[in-house]
């Protein structure tokens, strides 16, 4: 639930009121007294003595929206006609469409775009398969693949319910990097079926973006596809998160004057995102890390370790700490949470070292209340848009794929992810950098270009 009114829960209430008097001021007062925020009022006549008004307001959640509607309906002379949820309205009919890049106005144009002219292009590709990147959409296309098993923070809700999210991902690819992305929601959660399905549709795409596939299956799916395909495979929940976390941490440590190699880092979360963040931070030079899951610290003495946790145990926590998360946070310089809401308090953050950095990224409810964390930490970041320093994957994946496609890359390496993180961190200038600005806005014009250029250079160097 949102703690403050949010546009994602905004509604438009169409109603009629008596013309004249204080009708409009009464409407705005009723919304504000109910805790909402009026963002627009549109008036049209509804006869000589009535006004039709569309009241648009931000609310905290669906229950709060109903409270506001009830408050408006309770005013004298107010007649409610219709209530629209603006988020649902945006999704009516879907958010994306296919559009032709070439005109088809007459027989000549049709004969070149399709039969018989297209046959010559097909034969050229048959003779030289590498021409498929030059002569088709493959050069600029990405498949956004999910099985619906770990959608946002909603869990295993299935492929149909995952489709609005994948559409949104495709829209972001186009908006921020000019990439044509296609949502593909698979009606299977069998690892072999997922791998085989992606393998046999891969010829149409220049890259594969895996999305919202639950751990630990996502690790095997990605590994096997990277072995099978000659195009880059990128699991955004893992590597997109890791890029933005490393970028943000790089700048946060600039704020507090500490070095990555020296700081003590406590992490909560050993799933897909946690694994990727850990590996990229270590690749970038982090040395002192303890990772905790819901059983406590991951260490070599535990008897419940799968392959992923075994790797973590073998490569972190050299002192063999075997306590809980609160103990791991005590004396740490950095806390990174990619886990569950409300697992720490402000008092826990108070036990960290001076000038602590807290990344509480569970969404929508962070691991620790950001306001409580700010009382003790120098820098706080969350996954939410209503607090400063939002760790948002859209800062990374459009530019990453733009760079990979432009380089005609065939794989994804830690060096490429590290280059992306460095480029993203560099978008924030020394003059802009501060405790409340360690990552740029997703709408910053330099973000996608900077990340793409860095990834393209790294990809071309890897050939």
77 Ramachandran zone, left/alpha/beta (phi>0; psi -120 to 50) = left
Give the strand pairing for 207-210 and 141-146: parallel
What tokens were used for 114? 């399709």
Spatial contact of 225 and 198, defined as CB atoms under 8 Å apart: yes
320 Rama sector, left if φ>0, alpha if ψ -120 to 50, beta otherwise: left
What is the crossing angle of helices 62-73 and 23-33, to 10°?
150
| Both tokens assigned to 291 | 């990772």
Is residue 15 within 8 Å of 79, Cβ to Cβ? Answer: yes
CA distance 364 to 116: 53
Phi, psi torsion values for 311, nearest 5 degrees: -60, -45
Name the active-site residue from 169, 258, 279, 387. 169
Query: Could you tell me which residues are beta bridge partners of residue 266?
Result: 290, 335
Are 457 and 404 a contacting pair, CB within 8 Å? no
Q: 9 catalytic, yes or no?
A: no
Contact yes or no for 398/244 (Cβ under 8 A): no
Contact between residue 142 and residue 173 where contact means Cβ atoms under 8 Å apart? yes
Residue 294 appears among annotated catalytic residues: no
| Distance (Å, whole) CA 5 – CA 32 | 11
Q: Which of 95, 114, 174, 294 is catalytic?
A: 114
Distance CA 417, CA 239 (A): 7
Catalytic positions = 114, 169
């Amino acid at each position: 639930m949102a703690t403050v009114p949010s546009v994602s829960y905004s509604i438009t209430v169409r109603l009629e009121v008596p013309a004249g008097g204080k009708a409009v001021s009464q409407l705005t007062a009723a919304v504000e007294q109910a805790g909402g925020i009026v963002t627009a009022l549109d008036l049209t006549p509804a006869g000589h003595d009535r006004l039709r008004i569309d009241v648009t307001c931000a609310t905290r959640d669906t229950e709060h929206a109903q409270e506001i509607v009830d408050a408006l309906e309770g005013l004298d002379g107010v007649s409610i006609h219709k209530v629209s949820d603006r988020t649902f309205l945006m999704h009516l009919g879907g958010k994306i469409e296919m559009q032709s890049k070439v005109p088809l106005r007459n027989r000549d144009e049709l004969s070149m775009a399709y039969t018989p002219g297209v046959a010559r292009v097909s034969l050229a590709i048959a003779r030289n398969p590498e021409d498929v990147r030059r002569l088709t959409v493959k050069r600029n296309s990405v498949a956004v693949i999910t099985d619906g098993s770990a959608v946002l923070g909603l869990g295993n809700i299935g492929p149909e319910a995952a489709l609005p999210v994948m559409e949104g991902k495709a829209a972001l690819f186009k908006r921020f990097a000019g990439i044509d992305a296609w949502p593909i929601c698979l009606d299977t959660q069998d690892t072999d079926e997922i791998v085989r399905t992606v393998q046999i549709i891969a010829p149409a795409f220049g890259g594969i973006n895996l999305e919202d596939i639950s751990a630990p299956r996502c690790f095997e799916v990605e590994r096997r596809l990277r072995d099978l395909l000659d195009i880059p495979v990128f699991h955004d929940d893992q590597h997109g998160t890791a890029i933005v976390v490393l970028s943000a941490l790089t700048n946060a440590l600039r704020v507090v004057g500490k070095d990555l190699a020296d700081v003590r880092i406590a992490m909560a979360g050993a799933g897909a995102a946690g694994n990727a963040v850990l590996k990229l931070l270590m690749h970038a030079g982090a040395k002192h890390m303890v990772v905790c899951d819901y059983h406590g610290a991951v260490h070599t003495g535990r008897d419940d370790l799968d392959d992923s946790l075994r790797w973590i145990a073998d490569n972190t926590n050299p002192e063999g700490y075997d306590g809980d998360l609160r103990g791991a946070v005590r004396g740490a310089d950095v806390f990174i949470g990619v886990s569950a809401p409300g697992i720490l308090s402000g008092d826990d953050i108070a036990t960290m070292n001076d000038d602590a950095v807290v990344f509480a990224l569970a969404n929508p409810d962070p691991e620790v209340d950001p306001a409580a964390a700010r009382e003790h930490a120098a820098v706080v970041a969350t996954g939410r848009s209503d607090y400063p320093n939002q760790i948002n994957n859209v800062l990374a994946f459009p530019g990453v794929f733009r760079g990979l496609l432009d380089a005609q890359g065939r794989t994804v390496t830690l060096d490429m992810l590290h280059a992306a993180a460095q480029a993203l961190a560099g978008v924030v200038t020394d003059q802009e950098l501060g405790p409340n600005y360690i990552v740029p806005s997703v709408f910053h014009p330099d973000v996608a270009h900077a990340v793409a250029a860095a990834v393209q250079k790294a990809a071309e160097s890897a050939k």
